[in-house]
């Protein structure tokens, strides 16, 4: 295990990595280990340049994202734009091979939903979707065993780097102005965004 | 020299060294031309993502994998992110011979200000023993200067740039002229007490950082706001950079001309006068080349780039540089070795947490092979650790509302630290110009044949072992050590290649950072280093630069 967070300039992105105890899903791991000016390569920031998902898969990604991080007393994954983030990342910010476990998992979940619940997974009830995600989490989807951890990391990363995740679910201090290394935890309302 | 020269001095490069050279020389009345190969970045307005949270930065501030592999395949080892991407070299456009020789990460900046915009900011003085070690141990490369030669210049630089830290009176880590330290957090204070009790002689001290803890109104700089987003550029000017500190000072004299996108290819030389007669550069935008002249040239292009420029300065038809009568140019290249660390959980204090994002942490100064007790540890020199304690939010377990709400709590205090170790100078750790491949400006590519040796690897094994022992005995739980591949250049502390020395037959520069083979050439960046100590080097480059500028101007006035 490498703990590169020890050295401050190396911690710029460690916040994302620190959210996970498990081995990181490849694109997030590479990123966590890691602008606009004339002549500088531009990062694609518009809609996905390719459609990663079929309409049915897209609907399922949205539904499952919301089950991973649901609306509670704060908005959930859909309101935070997580489904669009996932498709954009897989289209333009990750390597094509990184789509494979996600697509395989979505297809396995869809098949299992038809078999267990006789309904397309995107239109299953939240309880049925939770049961499907639980199967995935417990590695009971056969060939798509890599799906759950990869998908959860995508949802968690997308959510906690979104405006809603950073400023509503958590608290973002743009300019803390001071440092207190012995601040009473009792005064913390929400986890601070990195 | 010719009265027609528009400039008294040319400074090549504008990083920590070049910026300081420009400041010092202009303030002493010289008309200075500063050339930098990078794009212009103005303080403040040139920082596109200063103050931006992840959701306002492309790709959530995570470098897209395809772009990393196409354009930033070296810079990715130097912590490039979308928010600082424009400050980093595009490795596709500006390559070196990375697929030949030994593996070396040459991590370079892309702008005026050089690595001063993206540096780690840890700032330490060298100790007297660091300057003496080569000579004392009979290691090839005795320094012609000692601590007392540099100490006044450390003071001068520290007072100007602002270094925060605590006075410790340690013989092996001299104190700087400090602003108040950035505090330790509760867990670090706990660890300090236990570690120093369990291991007499070892210390855990506040970070020493060129982040201000007091305003410098005369420089329009505001103290650190604890955002910990330094490498995006800081409009507060809270950390030292050329843009925030030395460039405004040089400009204020009215004597600075700064030309960006100016790629210096070589220096022209008069062998009879033993002087540099011109600096040739290519305009990166137009491809036009021109030669400029001045009485004085300060080469501050960064250690390896300065060596490259010197090596590429040679008479037609010869392979040897004008500045290599010693045969040592390009040799004794070093970096710190640092891919070792330890971590553990600190029990208790769960009623306390950090407020604000601190841009540093704590430091465990070198304790190996210091003073009289050469301990028989099986290696020479030593290492220090940089670390910090923090609490992270609870990690995701399962999914759904229970996971979401569980992640609203913080986990226990954790401490981690990584070692930075001294690399010895080896004659055959060298860089050279590629025999056939050139870059888009016609400069032969740099090739690296630099490896860490037995001494460095033994030192890292010891750093891991000692780190684990210290954390365990201090009472941490779940203590683990780690070690990654050691690649020279990875610490971005590459140094040497044009070392100082008293003997012109065995060194490139004299004790004033002045070329033995050209009295009007000074090389004041990391290239001049004859050894590297184990502490972060930039402060020493700045001190040696200010010292060299003082010497150069006195020489000029005398002539």
- Taking each helix axis from N to C end, the angle separating A147-160 and A55-68, rounded to the nearest 10 degrees, works out to 70
Q: Give the model's pLDDT for residue B373.
A: 58
- Which A residues, 70 through 99, put their C-beta within 8 Å of a C-beta on chain B? 70, 72, 85, 89, 92-95, 98
Which residues, 6 or more positions from B504, have their beta carbon under 8 angstroms from its beta carbon? B325, B326, B510, B516, B517
A15 pLDDT band, cuts 50/70/90, is very low
Model pLDDT for residues A45-95, shown as the tens digit of each residue: 899 999 999 999 999 999 999 999 999 999 999 999 999 999 999 999 999
| A20 three-class SS | coil
Q: What percent of chain A has pLDDT over 70?
A: 80
Strand partners, B393: B410
User: Are the beta carbons of B54 and A161 closer than 8 angstroms?
Assistant: yes
Q: Is the pTM of this model over 0.90?
A: yes
The confidence band for A24, taking pLDDT boundaries of 50, 70 and 90, is low
Asked if B59 and A163 come within 8 Å (Cβ–Cβ), the reply is no
Return the number of CB contacts < 8 Å for A and B. Answer: 247
Question: What H or E segment, with its residue span, contains residue B387?
Answer: strand B383-393
Start-to-end Cα distance in chain B: 11
pLDDT band at A14 (very low <50, low <70, confident <90, very high): very low
Q: Please name every residue paired with B209 in a beta bridge, in sequence order, or none if there are none.
A: B122, B164
**Element of type H or E holding B363:** strand B362-364
Per-residue pLDDT, B1: 40
How far apart, in whole angstroms, are the C-alpha atoms of residue B20 and residue B524? 10
Interchain proximity B39–A85, CB inside 8 Å: no
Each residue's pLDDT, cut to its tens digit, for chain B (559 residues) gives 444 569 999 999 999 999 999 999 999 999 999 999 999 999 999 999 999 999 999 999 999 999 999 999 999 999 999 999 999 999 999 999 999 999 999 999 999 999 999 999 999 999 999 999 999 999 999 999 999 999 999 999 999 999 999 999 999 999 999 999 999 999 999 999 999 999 999 999 999 999 999 999 999 999 999 999 999 999 999 999 999 999 999 999 999 999 999 999 999 999 999 999 999 999 999 999 999 999 999 999 999 999 999 999 998 888 899 999 999 999 999 999 999 999 999 999 999 999 999 999 999 999 999 976 566 899 999 999 999 999 999 999 999 999 999 999 999 999 999 999 999 999 999 999 999 999 999 999 999 999 999 999 999 999 999 999 999 999 999 999 999 999 999 999 999 999 999 999 999 999 999 999 999 999 999 999 999 999 999 999 999 999 999 999 999 999 8
From the number of C-beta atoms within 10 Å of its C-beta (0-12, 13-18, 19+), residue B290 rates as: exposed
Do residues B545 and B509 touch, judged by C-beta distance below 8 A? no
* A189 inside 8 A of chain B by CB: no
Q: How confident is the model at residue A143 (pLDDT cuts 50, 70, 90)?
A: confident
Selected residues 86-125 of chain B with any CB under 8 Å from a CB in chain A: 86-87, 90, 110, 118-122
User: Chain B residues with CB inside 8 Å of A28's CB?
Assistant: 62
The per-residue pLDDT for B80 is: 98
Across the interface, which of B39, B227, B398 has its CB nearest the CB of A176?
Answer: B227
Give the pLDDT band of residue A142 (cuts 50, 70, 90). Answer: confident
Return d(Cα B431, Cα B307) in angstroms, integer.
8
* Positions of E strands within B17-71: 32-35
Per-residue confidence (pLDDT) for residue B106, from 0 to 100: 98
Backbone angles phi, psi at B297, to 5 degrees: -130, 125
Chain A: residue nearest B344 by CA?
A3
> Among A36, A41, A173, whose Cβ lies nearest the Cβ of B48?
A36
**Is B534 at the interface with chain A, CB within 8 A?**
no
Contact check, Cβ <8 Å, B356/A174: no
Q: B387 and A6: CB-CB below 8 Å?
A: yes
Q: What is the structure's pLDDT at A38?
A: 67
Kindly state the tokens that stand for B78.
């130097």
What dihedral do alpha carbons B209, B211, B213, B219 form, nearest 10°? 130
Largest CA distance in chain A: 57
pLDDT of residue B443: 98
Q: CB of B418 within 8 Å of any CB in chain A? A: yes
Nearest to residue A109, comparing CAs of A145, A84, A83?
A: A145
pLDDT of residue A7: 40
Say whether residue B77 is in contact with chain A using an 8 A CB cutoff.
Answer: no
What number is the ipTM of this complex? 0.93
B395 closest CB neighbour out of A9, A20, A40: A20
- Residues 6+ positions from B117 with CB-CB distance below 8 Å: B41, B84, B87, B109, B111, B231, B233, B241, B242, B243
Q: Is A184 helix (H, G, I), strand (E, B) or coil?
A: strand
Angle B442-B443-B446 (CA atoms, 0-180°, nearest 5)?
Answer: 145
Nearest Cβ partner for B404 among A8, A39, A70: A70
Closest to B437 measured CA to CA, from B99, B103, B97: B97
Does residue B412 sit at the A interface (CB-CB below 8 Å)?
no
Pairwise CB contact (< 8 Å): A12 & B79: yes
- In 3D space, the residue among B456, B453, B437 whose CA is nearest the CA of residue B445 turns out to be B437
Count Cβ atoms below 10 Å from residue A185 Cβ, excluding itself. 13
Q: How far apart are CA B279 and CA B259, in angstroms?
A: 13
Looking at beta carbons, which residues of chain A come within 8 Å of B336? none
Taking the mean position of all CA atoms in its chain, how far away is CA B316?
34
Q: What is the pLDDT of residue A31?
A: 43
Report, in this order, helix, strand and coil percent for chain A, each rounded to 5. Answer: 55, 5, 40
Residues 24-43 of A with CB under 8 A from B: 27-28, 30-32, 34-41, 43
Separation of alpha carbons B376 and B365, rounded Å? 19
Identify all chain A residues contacting B121, using CB atoms and an 8 Å cutoff. Answer: 8-9
Q: In chain A, what residues touch B80 (CB-CB under 8 Å)?
A: 34
A22: left (phi over 0), alpha (psi -120 to 50) or beta: beta
Locate the chain B residue with the closest alpha carbon to A85: B59
The number of angstroms, rounded, from the C-alpha of B265 to the middle of its chain's C-alpha atoms is 23
**pLDDT of residue A36 exceeding 70:** no
Q: How far apart are CA B76 and CA B66, in angstroms?
A: 12
Q: Does residue A27 have a pLDDT over 60?
A: no
How much is the pLDDT for A37?
57
Q: What gap in Å lies between CA B528 and CA A40, rounded to an integer? A: 32
Cβ-contact B559, B523 below 8 angstroms: no
- Strand ranges (E), B358-450: 362-364, 383-393, 410-421, 430-438, 444-449
For B355, the token pair is 């407020």
| 3-state secondary structure at position B204 | coil
Give the chain B residue whose CA is nearest to the CA of A162: B55
Element (H, E) at B186: helix B186-198
**A9 pLDDT higher than 50:** no
Question: What is the rounded CA–CA span in Å between residue B350 and residue A186?
Answer: 10
């Amino acid at each position: 295990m490498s703990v590169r967070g020890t050295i401050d300039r190396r911690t710029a992105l460690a916040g994302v990595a620190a959210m996970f105890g498990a081995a990181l899903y490849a694109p997030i791991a590479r990123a966590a280990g890691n602008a606009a000016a004339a002549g500088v390569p531009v990062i694609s920031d518009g809609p996905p340049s390719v459609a990663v998902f079929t309409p049915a898969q897209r609907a399922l990604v949205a539904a499952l994202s919301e089950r991973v991080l649901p609306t509670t007393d704060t908005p959930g994954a859909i309101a935070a734009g997580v489904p669009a983030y996932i498709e954009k990342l897989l289209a333009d910010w990750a390597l094509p091979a990184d789509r494979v476990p996600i697509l395989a998992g979505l297809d396995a979940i869809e098949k299992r939903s038809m078999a267990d619940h006789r309904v397309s997974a995107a239109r299953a009830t939240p309880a049925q979707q939770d049961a499907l995600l639980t199967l995935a989490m417990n590695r009971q989807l056969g060939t798509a065993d890599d799906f759950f951890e990869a998908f959860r990391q995508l949802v968690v990363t997308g959510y906690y780097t979104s405006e809603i995740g950073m400023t509503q679910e958590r608290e973002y201090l743009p300019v803390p102005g001071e440092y207190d290394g012995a601040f009473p935890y009792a005064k913390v309302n929400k986890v601070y965004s990195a | 020299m010719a009265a027609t020269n528009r400039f008294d001095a040319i400074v090549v490069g504008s990083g920590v060294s070049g910026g300081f050279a420009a400041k010092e020389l202009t303030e002493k009345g010289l008309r200075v031309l500063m050339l930098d190969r990078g794009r212009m970045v103005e303080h403040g307005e040139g920082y596109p993502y200063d103050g931006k949270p992840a959701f306002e930065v492309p790709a959530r501030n995570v470098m897209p994998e395809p772009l990393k592999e196409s354009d930033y395949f070296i810079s990715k080892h130097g912590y490039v992110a979308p928010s600082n991407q424009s400050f980093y070299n595009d490795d596709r456009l500006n390559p070196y011979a990375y697929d030949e020789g030994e593996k070396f990460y040459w991590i370079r900046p892309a702008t005026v200000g050089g690595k001063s915009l993206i540096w780690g900011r840890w700032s330490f003085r060298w100790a007297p023993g660091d300057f003496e070690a080569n000579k004392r141990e009979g290691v090839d490369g005795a320094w012609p200067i000692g601590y007392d030669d540099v100490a006044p210049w450390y003071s001068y630089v520290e007072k100007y740039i602002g270094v925060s830290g605590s006075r410790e009176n340690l013989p092996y880590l001299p104190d700087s002229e400090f602003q108040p330290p950035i505090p330790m957090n509760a867990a670090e204070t706990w660890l300090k007490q236990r570690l120093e009790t369990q291991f007499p002689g070892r210390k855990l001290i506040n970070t020493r950082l060129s982040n201000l803890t007091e305003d410098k109104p005369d420089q329009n700089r505001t103290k650190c706001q604890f955002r910990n987003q330094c490498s995006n550029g800081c409009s507060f000017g809270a950390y030292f950079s050329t843009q925030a500190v030395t460039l405004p000072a040089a400009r204020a004299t009215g004597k600075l001309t700064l030309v960006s996108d100016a790629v210096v290819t070589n220096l022209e030389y008069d062998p009879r006068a033993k002087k540099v007669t011109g600096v040739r550069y290519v305009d990166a935008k137009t491809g036009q080349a021109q030669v400029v002249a001045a009485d004085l040239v300060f080469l501050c292009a960064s250690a390896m780039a300065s060596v490259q420029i010197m090596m590429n300065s040679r008479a037609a038809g010869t392979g040897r540089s004008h500045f290599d009568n010693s045969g040592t140019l390009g040799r004794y290249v070093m970096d710190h070795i640092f891919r070792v660390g330890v971590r553990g959980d600190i029990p208790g204090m769960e009623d306390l947490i950090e407020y604000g994002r601190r841009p540093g942490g704590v430091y465990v100064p070198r304790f190996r092979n210091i003073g009289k007790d050469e301990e028989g540890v099986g290696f020479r020199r030593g290492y220090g650790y940089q670390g910090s304690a923090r609490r992270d939010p609870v990690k995701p377990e399962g999914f759904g509302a229970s996971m979401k709400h569980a992640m609203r709590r913080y986990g226990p205090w954790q401490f981690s630290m990584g070692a930075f170790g001294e690399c010895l100078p080896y004659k055959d750790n060298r860089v050279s110009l590629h025999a056939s491949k050139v870059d888009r400006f016609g400069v032969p590519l740099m090739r690296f044949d630099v490896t860490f040796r037995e001494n460095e690897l033994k030192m890292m094994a010891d750093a891991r072992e000692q780190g684990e022992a210290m954390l365990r005995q201090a009472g941490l739980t779940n203590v683990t050590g780690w070690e990654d591949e050691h690649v020279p250049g990875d610490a971005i502390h590459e140094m040497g290649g044009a070392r100082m020395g008293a003997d012109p037959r065995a060194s490139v520069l004299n004790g004033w950072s002045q070329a033995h083979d050209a009295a009007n050439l000074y090389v004041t960046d990391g290239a001049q280093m004859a050894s590297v100590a184990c502490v972060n080097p930039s402060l020493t480059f700045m001190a040696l630069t200010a010292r060299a500028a003082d010497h150069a101007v006195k020489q000029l006035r005398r002539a």
